[in-house]
Structure 1
Amino acid sequence: MTTPNLVLLQGAQAGDGGMMSMLIMMGLLFAIVYFFMIRPQNKKQKEIQKFRDALRAGDEVVTIGGIQGTIKRIDDETNTIILNVATGVEIRFDKSAIIPKGTSNNR
């Protein structure tokens, strides 16, 4: 073989190994992102959903807007909650607007 052909063959072989190592690095990067970002977020969402499913009348809650109140009634058909925020003052909220008390700063 001539010298230029030999150099081209060596470059092609190095390129194949480079592609494989790049794929491995991308796979490792995806795994790191999944285990440090996506998985904890999914776990937190499941915990919040479990909290919302366990809500009962009389529970004290906070909305994502910071309004604190006591649950008066839960309507599962419309997925809403009636909060008693003061004497004679009731506000209707979507169930997804309720967060565990004490977590309003940690959304």
Structure 2
Amino acid sequence: MPAGDASNILIQIAPLVLIVAVFYFLMIRPQQKRMKDHQNMITNLKRGDNVVLSSGLIGKIVRVEDKEVGVEIAQGVTVKVVRGMIAEVRAKGEPAAANDAKN
């Protein structure tokens, strides 16, 4: 095989490798970072946090369980929500001990 054939194959493969690298750094890696940040947010939920659900509802967490949280969406109206459906934490609540000390 002449040396020209090897360099010709390399020149043909280089754009494909470049495209894969660009996709990784511009699409895959940022998505993985967002998923990691969301998972971290979900695991750190606590009572008193104001949250936005993926449906657009805004409420306050009143109960935290393993897979679900209780969200108060209106005075006296509490709904159970799967943790993964929480899109954003707007305002962090105070630790439960600090709330008990005030009362």
Shorter-chain TM-score tier? 0.7 to 0.9
Q: CA RMSD in A?
A: 2.0
Structure 2 residue runs of 5 or longer lacking an equivalent are 91-103
Quote the residue 1:65 is aligned against.
55
Structure 2: distance between partners of 1:87 and 1:14: 77
> Residue 96 of structure 1: SS of its match in structure 2?
helix
Q: Deviations over 1:72-98 (max 9, x none)?
A: 11111xx11110111111111110000
Quote the residue 2:20 is aligned against.
30
Structure 1 residue runs of 5 or longer lacking an equivalent are 1-8, 103-107
Q: Which of these residues, 35, 42, 45, is aligned with residue 52 of structure 1?
A: 42
Question: 1:14 Cα deviation (Å)?
Answer: 5.9
Quote the residue 1:95 is aligned against.
83
Question: 1:21 Cα deviation (Å)?
Answer: 1.5
Higher CA-based Rg: 1
> Residue 10 of structure 2: SS of its match in structure 1?
helix
**Displaced runs of 4+ in structure 1, greater than 6 A?**
none
> Residue 9 of structure 2: SS of its match in structure 1?
helix
TM-score for both structures, normalised by structure 2: 0.77
Are 2:51 and 2:87, in contact at CA under 8 Å, matched by a contact in 1? yes
Flag the structure with more relative contact order, 1 or 2, with Cα contacts below 8 A and sequence separation at least 6: 2
TM-score for both structures, normalised by structure 1: 0.74
